[in-house]
Chains A and B, each alone.
Chain A
Amino acid sequence: MTNLPLWIIPLFPLLGTILLGTIALISSGSKKGPSEGFVGALSVLFPAISFLCVVLLAFGMPEEGIRQTLCNWIDIPMLKVDIGFLFDGLSRVMLLFVTGIGSLIALYSIGYMHGDRGFTRFFAYINLFLFSMIVLVLSDSLLLTFLGWEGVGLCSYLLIGFWNHDLNNCKAANKAFIVNRVGDIGFLLGMLCLATLGGSAILNYDALNKFIEMLIAGGHVELATPIIAVAGLLFFVGCTGKSAQIPLLTWLPDAMAGPTPVSALIHAATMVTSGVYLLARLSRMFSVIPEVLVVVLIVGMLTAFWAAVAGLFQNDIKKVLAYSTISQLGYMFMAAGAFAFDASIFHVFTHAFFKAALFLGAGAVIHALAGEQDMRRMGGLIKKTPVTACVMIFAFLAIIGFPGFAGFWSKDLILERLYTNAPFGEFFYFAGLLTAVITAVYMGRLIIMTFFGEYRGSKEKEAHIHEAPASMLIPMVILAFGAVFAGYLWADSMGIKFFEQTLAPVVSDAQNYALGRISVAHVNPMTFACFGTAAALLGMIIAYVIYGTKRLPRLHKKWGSAPEGFKADWTFFFDYIHEIFIVMTKAFAFIADMIVDKILQGIQWTVGAIVEIVGDGVSSFQARKVRVQLTLSLVGVVALIAVVLMTGGLI
Chain B
Amino acid sequence: MLLHLLVLAPFAAAILMMATSKEDPKSSSRLAFLFGFAFVAMSIALIAAGNQATEAIEWFQIPGAKGSVYYYLYSHGLGAWMVFLSTGLSLVALITGRNTFETNYRNFAIAIFALMGAMNGTFLAADAVLFFFFFEAMVFPAAVLIAGFGGADRKKAAMTFAIYTLVGSAPMMVALWYLVSMADNSLVLSLAVALQNLDPSMQMTLLLCFLLAFLVKTPVFPFHGWQAITYAEAPAPLSAILTGAMSKAGVFGFIAWILPIFPLSMKVVDGMLWLGLLTAIYGALMALRATDGKKLLAFSSMSHLGLAVAGVFSLSESMLPAVLVLLVAHGLSAGAQFYLMGIAERFAGTRNIEQLGGLAARNPVFGSLFGFVAVLSLAVPGTAGFVGEFTVLMSLWDMGPLPALVAGLCLILSAAYMLRFVQKVIFGKPAREYVDGKRMTALEGSSISIMGVMLLVFGMHPAFITNALQLFDESAVQEMNKVTHPAAVQESQTVEASADTTGEAEVDENIAAVAQPMTEDDLRQLDSNLKANGFSDEERASLIAQLKAMSESEVADAHEEAAESNEANVKEASENE
**A residues whose Cβ falls under 8 Å from a Cβ of B:** 24-25, 28-29, 72-79, 143, 146-147, 149-151, 154, 157, 161, 164-167, 170-171, 173-174, 177-178, 181-182, 185, 188-189, 192-193, 195-201, 210-211, 214-215, 218, 220, 223-224, 226-227, 585-586, 588-590, 592-593, 596-597, 600-601, 604, 608, 643-644, 647-651
B550-A211 in contact (CB<8A): yes
* A195: chain B residues within 8 A (beta carbon): 394, 397, 522
Are B529 and A74 in contact, CB atoms less than 8 angstroms apart?
no
Q: Which of A147, A170, A200, A597 contacts B286 (CB 8 A)?
A: A597
A198 touches B547 (CB 8 A): yes
- 1/0 contact trace for B279-302 toward A, CB 8 Å? 000100110110000000000000
Q: Say yes or no: B419 contacts A178, CB within 8 Å.
A: yes
> Does B201 make an interface contact (CB < 8 A)?
no
A-B contact pairs, 20 of them (CB 8 A): A29-B364, A72-B463, A74-B391, A75-B463, A76-B391, A77-B317, A78-B316, A79-B394, A164-B426, A173-B419, A181-B411, A185-B408, A192-B393, A195-B394, A198-B522, A198-B547, A210-B550, A224-B543, A585-B288, A588-B285
A160 to chain B, nearest CB (A): 12
Residues in B whose Cβ lies below 8 Å from that of A586 = 288
Q: Residue B478 at the A interface, CB < 8 A?
A: no
A150 to B380, Cβ gap below 8 A?
Answer: yes
Residue of A nearest to B420 (CB): A174
Cβ contact within 8 Å between B63 and A649: yes
B225 within 8 A of A: yes
Please judge, given known A-B contacts A223-B530, A601-B225, whether A192 and B543 are in contact too, CB under 8 Å.
no
B361 cross-chain contacts in A, Cβ below 8 A: 165
Q: How far is the CB of A213 from chain B (nearest CB, A)?
A: 9
User: Which of chain A's residues have a CB closer than 8 A to the CB of B514?
Assistant: 77
Using an 8 Å CB-CB cutoff, how does the interface string of B333-372 with A read, 1 for contact, 0 for none?
0000000000000000000000000101100110010000
For A151, list chain B residues within 8 Å (CB).
Answer: 380-382
Question: Is there an interface contact between B546 and A218, defined as CB atoms closer than 8 Å?
Answer: yes
* Contact B550–A167 (Cβ < 8 Å): no
Is there an interface contact between A650 and B368, defined as CB atoms closer than 8 Å? Answer: no
Q: Are A78 and B412 in contact (CB under 8 A)?
A: no
Does B525 reach chain A (CB closer than 8 Å)?
yes
B502 on the interface (CB 8 Å rule)? no
Q: Which residue of B lies closest to A226 (CB)?
A: B533
Indicate whether A165 sits within 8 Å of B427 (C-beta atoms), given known contacts A76-B322, A77-B518, A79-B391. Answer: yes
Report yes or no: A648 in contact with B408, Cβ–Cβ below 8 A: no
Using an 8 Å CB-CB cutoff, how does the interface string of B123-142 with A read, 1 for contact, 0 for none?
Answer: 00000000000000000000
Instruction: Report A-chain residues with C-beta under 8 Å of the C-beta of B257.
Output: none
Interchain CB contact under 8 A, A154 and B428: no
Smallest beta-carbon distance A360→chain B, Å? 27
Closest to A30 in B: B364
Among B375, B408, B412, B426, the residue within 8 A (CB) of A154 is B375
Interface of B is mostly: helix
B381 x A146 contact (CB < 8 A): yes
Binary A-proximity of B473-498 (CB < 8 A = 1, otherwise 0): 00000000000000000000000000
- Are B63 and A650 in touch, CB under 8 angstroms? yes
Contacts of A25 in B (CB 8 A): 365, 368
Give the distance in Å from the alpha carbon of A515 to the alpha carbon of B42 in the complex. 64
Q: A185-B408, A650-B61 are in contact. Are A593 and B289 (CB under 8 A)?
A: yes
Closest-by-CB residue of B relative to A221 is B543
Determine if B543 and A174 form an interchain contact, defined as CB atoms under 8 angstroms apart. no
B530: min CB distance to chain A, Å: 7
Q: Which residue of A lies closest to B283 (CB)?
A: A592
Residues of A within 8 A of B409 (CB): 185
Task: List chain B residues, Cβ under 8 A from A147.
Answer: 381-382
The answer to whether the Cβ of B171 comes within 8 Å of any Cβ in the partner chain is no
B238 to chain A, nearest CB (A): 22
Q: Name, among A79, A200, A211, the residue most crowded by chain B CB atoms within 10 Å (CB to CB).
A: A79
Whether B427 pairs with A170 at a CB distance below 8 angstroms is yes
Q: In whole angstroms, what is the CA distance A174 to B395 when docked?
A: 29
A residues in contact with B282, CB < 8 Å? 592, 596
CA distance A220 to B358 in the complex (A): 60
Interface residues of B in 169-224 (CB under 8 A from A): 181, 222, 224
CB distance from B109 to the nearest CB of A (A): 30
Q: Are B288 and A192 within 8 A (Cβ)?
A: no
Is the CB of B265 closer than 8 A to any CB of chain A? no
Query: What is the bound-complex CA distance between A268 and B571, given in angstroms?
Result: 65
Do the beta carbons of B405 and A170 come within 8 Å of each other? no
B415 cross-chain contacts in A, Cβ below 8 A: 177-178, 181
Contact partners of A589 in chain B: CB under 8 A: 285-286, 288-289
Interchain CB contact under 8 A, A164 and B529 = no
The answer on a CB contact under 8 Å between B318 and A79 is: yes
User: Across chains A and B, which 7 residue pairs bring their CB atoms closest together, nearest first?
Assistant: A28-B364, A78-B318, A147-B381, A76-B321, A185-B408, A589-B285, A164-B427
In B519-559, the 8 Å CB interface with A consists of: 519, 522, 525-526, 529-530, 533, 535, 539-540, 542-543, 546-547, 549-551, 554
Chain B residues positioned under 8 Å from A72 (CB to CB):
463
Q: A57: shortest Cβ distance to chain B, in Å?
A: 24
Choice from A77, A150, A224, A227 contacting B318 with Cβ under 8 Å: A77
Query: Contacts A76-B322, A199-B518, A223-B539; is A585 near B413 (CB within 8 Å)?
Result: yes
Asked whether, in the complex, the Cβ of A192 is within 8 Å of the Cβ of B404, the reply is yes
Task: Give the docked Cα–Cα distance between A597 and B295 (Å).
Answer: 13
The reply to whether the CB of B429 lies closer than 8 angstroms to some CB of chain A is: yes
Instruction: Give the distance to chain B from A647, nearest Cβ to Cβ, in Å.
Output: 4
- B-chain residues with CB within 8 Å of residue A165 when the two chains form the complex: 358, 361, 427-429
A78 near B394 with CB under 8 A, answer yes
Complex: how many Å from CA A647 to CA B316? 43
Interface string of B105-147 (1 = CB under 8 A from A): 0000000000000000000000000000000000000000000
Inter-subunit contact B285/A199 (CB<8 Å): no
Contact status B368-A78, CB under 8 Å: no
Q: Is B423 an interface residue (CB 8 A)?
A: yes
Can you name the residue of chain A whose Cβ is closest to the Cβ of B521? A78
- Contacting residues, chain A, for B61 (C-beta < 8 A): 650-651
Chain B residue nearest to A588 in the complex (CB) = B285
Min C-beta distance of A216 to chain B, whole Å? 11
B423 touches A196 (CB 8 A): no
400-446 of chain B: CB within 8 A of chain A = 401, 404-405, 408-409, 411-413, 415-416, 419-420, 423, 426-429
Determine if B104 is an interface residue (Cβ-Cβ < 8 Å): no
Residues of B within 8 A of A192 (CB): 393-394, 397, 404
Bound together, the chains give a CA A600 to CA B227 distance in angstroms of 12
Q: Kindly identify which residue among B393, B427, B516, B517 contacts A188, using a CB–CB cutoff of 8 Å.
A: B393
List of A residues within 8 angstroms of B285 by Cβ: 585, 588-589, 592-593
From residue A570, how far is it (CB to closest CB) to chain B in Å? 23
Kindly state the separation between the CA atoms of A72 and B387 in the bound complex, as whole angstroms: 13
* Neighbouring A residues of B427 by C-beta, 8 Å: 161, 164-165, 167, 170
Q: Which residues of B contact A76 (CB under 8 A)?
A: 318, 321-322, 391, 462, 466
B416 touches A600 (CB 8 A): no
Q: Is the beta-carbon distance between A174 and B381 smaller than 8 angstroms?
A: no
| A77/B63 in contact, CB under 8 A | no
Instruction: Assess the B412–A220 pair: CB atoms within 8 A.
Output: no
A196-B288 contact given A77-B317, A154-B380, A648-B63, CB 8 Å threshold: no
Least Cβ–Cβ distance between A557 and chain B, in angstroms: 26
Q: Kindly identify which residue among B317, B381, B525 contacts A196, using a CB–CB cutoff of 8 Å.
A: B525
Are the CB atoms of A29 and B412 closer together than 8 Å? no
Q: Which of A171, A178, A197, A590 contacts B412 (CB 8 A)?
A: A178
| A348, chain B: closest CB distance, angstroms | 23
A29–B365 contact, CB under 8 A?
A: yes
Q: Which residue of B lies closest to A157 (CB)?
A: B419
B466: A residues at CB distance < 8 A = 75-76
Contact B551 A592 (CB under 8 A): no
Q: Does B471 contact A (CB under 8 A)?
A: no
Q: Does B513 contact A (CB under 8 A)?
A: yes
If A29-B364, A178-B412, A593-B286 are given as contacts, then 12 extra A-B residue pairs at C-beta distance below 8 Å, sorted by A number, are: A28-B365, A75-B463, A76-B321, A143-B381, A150-B380, A151-B380, A170-B423, A170-B427, A171-B423, A174-B419, A592-B285, A648-B63
